[in-house]
């Protein structure tokens, strides 16, 4: 096919693969944890979204095992037909109680949650306004909806104000969609200002808490809670594959919203239900996150992030700015962005760290701007202080040697 010829992204992948510096599709050989066996060697894992360190937790393993024993490998049907288990209802009730909403609906994946929700609640004649750095699933859902899609500069509330001031022909609805915590830079959205702006312009607000769930807020429901706007957020979405360390996604909200999704969200209606083990693991994870242990793990994840970030910053490395909180203080997140700039330099640095026992994630275009290549470093609550400090030493020494 002609479309497969002369693809610069494919060319870059092949060049990296041929040079044996490809940072993608590496093979994991042990459970996700602070140290993972990767292609024959143990490496400190700084490339996982397992922020609370629950992926290998005994309670989550037991939740998955119990569901597997009871329901088998799969239910082989959609939620609409034979794919709804009582486990789904228990999980949705737990999430709704956690978030203080009328209810919740669980999807098979986080990507499908955004795709199905956004395309179901907006359509031709409506306007969807998204942050320029919004996750691909948000952007894809917006395009699929058929609504007019407008962007505003990343975390720029003044630009959002300007975009929302533009007329909407025909009196259609306006939906603003943002991430609570952005997965590349690890920065929080200024949700207090965003929510106030949406209220002034009578726009609905949807917040994707995929990366902030389990970490931020006194109940650990995410950034909307942290900024005190949970009650004024119309649609609260999160993934079950980051801090909860399973797979799936959910929407928490009103009865009207949820019933509409049950009827109109094609990514919910026309896909097979999540495997029982994933649903069982998710339920166990949500219950653990809500416990005292969950609070301790969230605190530990942020403490580890602070150690990593401050150590790299002290060595003069570009890790960006902290996110501002309403009281004027700053906060870290479990995601620390090490900015490099050039894509080939980022790939080369990734390989040198890989060879020295550090597994990071290389973020290249289109995940980041073309000149904004970075290494995305993610901590876990289960990393020891010694592991984090060892990683700081290895990274700073490796960067220094590469620039000398």
In this structure, are residues 66 and 255 in contact, taking their beta carbons and an 8 Å threshold? no
Whole-structure pTM value: 0.95
Note the pLDDT tens digit of each residue in 155-209: 999 999 999 999 998 889 999 999 999 999 999 999 999 999 999 999 999 999 9
Annotate 263-285 with b (16+ C-beta within 10 A) or e (fewer). Answer: eebebbbebebbbbbbbbbbbbb
More reliable by pLDDT, 1 or 7: 7
Asked if pLDDT for residue 372 goes beyond 60, the answer is: yes
Q: How confident is the model over 330-350, as a mean pLDDT?
A: 94
Q: Domains of the chain by range and CATH?
A: 7-45+292-403 (3.90.1150.10), 58-289 (3.40.640.10)
Tokens of 397: 């020494």
What pLDDT score does 108 carry?
98
**Mean pLDDT across the chain:** 95
Kindly report, residue by residue over 48-75, the tens digit of the pLDDT: 999 999 999 999 999 999 999 999 999 9
Chain-centre distance for alpha carbon 137: 10
For residue 3, pLDDT over 70 is answered with no
Q: Dihedrals φ, ψ of 104, to 5°?
A: -155, 155
* Percent over 70 (pLDDT), the chain: 99
* Per-residue tokens: 138: 């948000």
How far apart (Å, rounded) are the C-alpha atoms in residues 403 and 316?
A: 12
pLDDT digits (tens, 9 = 90+) for 68-117: 999 999 999 999 999 999 999 999 999 999 999 999 999 999 999 999 99
- What angle (nearest 5°) sits at the alpha carbon of residue 189, between those of residues 115 and 330? 150
Task: Decide if pLDDT at 1 tops 70.
Answer: no
Mean pLDDT, residues 285-298 taken together: 98
As a whole number of Å, the CA-based R_g of the chain is 21
Burial 294-318 (b: 16+ CB within 10 A, else e): beebbebbbbbbbbbbebbeeeebe
Q: pLDDT confidence of 22, banded at 50, 70, 90?
A: confident
Distance of CA 171 to the CA centre of its chain: 33
């Amino acid at each position: 096919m002609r479309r497969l010829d002369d693809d610069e992204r494919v060319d870059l992948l092949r060049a990296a693969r041929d040079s044996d510096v490809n940072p993608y599709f590496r093979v994991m050989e042990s459970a996700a944890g602070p140290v993972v066996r990767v292609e024959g060697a143990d490496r400190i894992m700084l490339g996982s979204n397992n922020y609370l360190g629950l992926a290998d937790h005994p309670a989550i393993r037991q939740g998955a095992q119990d569901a597997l024993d009871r329901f088998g490998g799969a239910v082989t049907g959609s939620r609409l037909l034979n794919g709804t288990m009582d486990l789904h209802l228990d999980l949705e009730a737990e999430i709704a109680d956690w978030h203080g909403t009328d209810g919740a609906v669980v999807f098979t994946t986080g990507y499908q949650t955004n795709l199905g929700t956004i395309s179901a609640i907006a359509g031709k004649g409506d306007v969807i306004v998204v942050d320029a750095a919004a996750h691909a699933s948000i952007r894809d859902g917006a395009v699929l909806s058929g609504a007019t899609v407008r962007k505003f500069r990343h975390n720029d509330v003044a630009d959002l104000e300007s975009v929302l001031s533009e007329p909407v022909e025909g009196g259609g609805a306006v939906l603003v969609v943002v991430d609570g915590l952005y997965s590349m830079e690890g920065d929080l959205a200024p949700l207090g200002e965003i929510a106030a702006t949406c209220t002034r312009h009578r726009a609905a607000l949807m917040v994707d808490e995929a990366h902030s769930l389990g970490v931020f807020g006194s109940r650990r429901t995410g950034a909307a809670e942290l900024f005190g706007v949970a009650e004024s957020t119309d649609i609260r979405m999160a993934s079950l594959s980051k801090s909860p360390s399973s797979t799936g996604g959910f929407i928490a909200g009103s009865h009207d919203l949820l019933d509409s999704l049950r009827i109109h969200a094609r990514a919910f209606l026309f896909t097979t239900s999540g495997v029982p083990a994933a649903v069982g693991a998710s339920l166990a994870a949500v219950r653990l996150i809500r416990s005292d242990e969950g609070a301790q793990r969230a605190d530990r994840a942020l403490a580890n992030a602070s150690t990593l970030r401050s150590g790299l910053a002290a060595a003069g490395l570009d890790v960006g700015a902290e996110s501002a909180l309403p009281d004027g203080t700053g906060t870290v997140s479990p995601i620390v962005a090490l900015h490099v700039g050039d894509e080939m330099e980022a790939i080369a640095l990734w390989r040198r760290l890989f060879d020295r026992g550090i597994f990071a994630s290389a973020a290249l275009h289109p995940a980041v701007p073309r000149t904004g290549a970075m290494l995305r470093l993610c901590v876990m609550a289960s990393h020891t202080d010694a592991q984090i400090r060892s990683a700081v030493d290895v990274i700073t020494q490796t960067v220094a040697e590469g620039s000398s």
